[in-house]
Amino acid sequence: MSQAKHSDSEAAVDEMRRSEGQGLASSQALADDAIIWASLHGLLVGLGDEQRPYALTHAPISVVPVPFPRDSFQKARAAMQVFNKLIDRVSRDGDYLQRTLQPAAEFDDFTAKLLEVYRHTEGIRNARAADELVLAINRSDYMLDEPSSTLLQVELNTIASSFGCLSTLVSRMHRHILERSAQPGVDLGRLPENHATEEIADAIGAAVSEYGAEESVVLFVVQPNERNSYDQQWLQQAIWERHKIRTVRLTLAQIAERGALDANGQLRVDDAEVAVAYFRAGYSPDDYPTDLEWKAREMLESSRAAQCPSVPYQLAGAKKVQQDLAGPGVVERFVDGPEEAALIRACFAGLWSLDDVEEAATAEVLARAEASPDDYVLKPQREGGGNNLYGAQIVQRLQQRTGLAAYILMQRIRPPINRSTLVREGQVIEVDTLSELGIYGTFVRRGDRVILNREAGHLVRTKAATSDEGGVAAGFAVLDSPYLT
Ligand code: ADP
Ligand code: MG
Ligand code: MG
């Protein structure tokens, strides 16, 4: 009985997702509804036109939500607080971070530079360890692997985990679309609540309150000409409305110019004392075109303000660390007991180190990857999408043999294919798609005292099945939400 209801409901949404058999007019009408709702409710991105900085369009979206298995969704949610704890403990183990990342740093200047800032600021960090203020806004990303019927982690982001606010709006938009469509069989109870905006704003609010200075502000460290600024603006608005805390947006170059640090580590920009530096920039080498930006980073890192993320947190989110944690006995050193370790390990895909290509086990996996590159993804220590290698590119890079320590090799996850109607800048397309689930996690700590550790909402991104990469901001994907089956 419940099985029949289950599949009826799934079929009803499936039917809406594909316009086949209904004609393009019907899918166009739903898409129109979605675009109008998005525009009326601030589900927006910039056009990226430097001459007209306020020129807008609706965010790229899927018109209706994507069927997603409830048990996998719950599993990902249940693991989030343990992931928060894991990453926090990894970030506190400087020896582990340096040991794990040094081989990559030999061939990757960006990782080397982050490690350099880590070492420069080590004395200050150690002196303050007992009362350091830590704020983390993480996002653990997953895809369903169809061949093994398991949910596998793609990566865990510790810096600029974006789209929390726009995804909160997408969840609301999909509820509106399904409710209005009045399609028989559609069950609104299958749309999970999403409070990412509130959760993230409240974590930032908790960190500011713990910082404990009247009139202090949250510094948003942003990229110049950011297209995804409305996701950030929503967060700034929520921080103000829920906590009456002011926010200031500055680029790293502006911070170098307008920021100052006193002898006690108090950070000020212009006249305001900074309680939290929240990074939506700084994850890519492009964010540091000159030494000035690195100077700004080092100043923030030396301050008493909570940095979201600190350099150790950013390093803990490196793909190399993700790969190393999957090795035998490593996660176990950081979490509490076998149950927590099992929760985490259940999400790990196959991950291989390329630190030592002479080693027998590495030589063996290299041979396998060269023989069937489509079963693997080759990943450098980069964030923000568009950096991984696939297929023939993998073979080409692996055959060079040198500098492979800068990469990790990962099992290619094979998600189920759906048919979806997507809209981007008013254009409607119907394509075969893959989806990636993200779960947000928030964490606040003062010294050894954990003040907050929460699962903090979700995000689904959907991309054309023919596209290897999945970033929304990088132009590969659209925002979506789950319809639990
Ligand atoms: P980034 O930090 O740049 O977002 P990701 O590891 O998330 O790096 O990779 C970018 C995209 O590449 C993902 O969103 C996903 O679409 C795709 N991808 C990454 N790893 C895998 C994998 N193991 N299997 C299949 N696709 C993957
Ligand atoms: Mg990432
Ligand atoms: Mg990613």
Specify the pLDDT at position 296.
Answer: 98
> 459: part of which helix (H) or strand (E)?
strand 449-464
Taking the C-alpha atoms of 158, 335, 209 and 310 in order, what is their torsion angle to the nearest 10 degrees? Answer: -30
pLDDT under 50: residue ranges of the chain:
1-5, 20-24
Question: Is 469 part of any known ligand binding site?
Answer: yes
Return d(Cα 277, Cα 274) in angstroms, integer: 7
Interface ipTM > 0.90: yes
The rounded Å distance from CA 339 to ligand 1 centre is 27
pLDDT, tens digit (0-9, with 9 covering 90-100), for 423-466: 999 999 999 999 999 999 999 999 999 999 999 999 999 999 98
Neighbours of 237 (CB within 10 A): 16
Of ligand 1's listed atoms, the one at least distance from the Cα of 141 is 7
Half-sphere exposure of 442 (CA within 13 A, CB side): 22
Question: Is 173 part of any known ligand binding site?
Answer: no
Question: Is 259 part of any known ligand binding site?
Answer: no
Return d(Cα 482, Cα 418) in angstroms, integer: 12
Cα distances (Å, whole numbers) of residue 74 to 131, 138, 344: 34, 17, 13
Specify the pLDDT at position 21.
Answer: 42
Specify the pLDDT at position 369.
Answer: 98
Specify the pLDDT at position 361.
Answer: 96
Q: Is 317 a catalytic residue?
A: no
Contact 34, 478 (CB under 8 A): no
Specify the pLDDT at position 9.
Answer: 73
Contact 171, 161 (CB under 8 A): no
CA diameter of the chain: 70
Which amino acid is residue 372, in one-letter code? S
Tokens 């005292």 correspond to 449
Q: Is 384 a catalytic residue?
A: yes
Return d(Cα 56, Cα 350) in angstroms, integer: 41
Q: Is 379 a catalytic residue?
A: yes
Return d(Cα 286, Cα 284) in angstroms, integer: 5
* Token pair listed for 415: 């998600």
Contact 315, 118 (CB under 8 A): yes
Cα distances (Å, whole numbers) of residue 84 to 96, 164, 286, 313, 467: 17, 17, 28, 11, 30
Report which protein residue has its CA nearest ligand 1's atom 19.
Answer: 154
Specify the pLDDT at position 53.
Answer: 84
Bridging pattern class, strands 217-221 and 272-279: parallel
Radius of gyration of the chain (CA): 22
Specify the pLDDT at position 471.
Answer: 66
Say if residue 309 is preceded by a cis peptide, omega within 30 of 0. Answer: yes
Specify the pLDDT at position 1.
Answer: 33
Of ligand 1's listed atoms, the one at least distance from the Cα of 379 is 6
Residues with C-beta atoms within 5 A of ion ligand 2 = 155, 157, 383
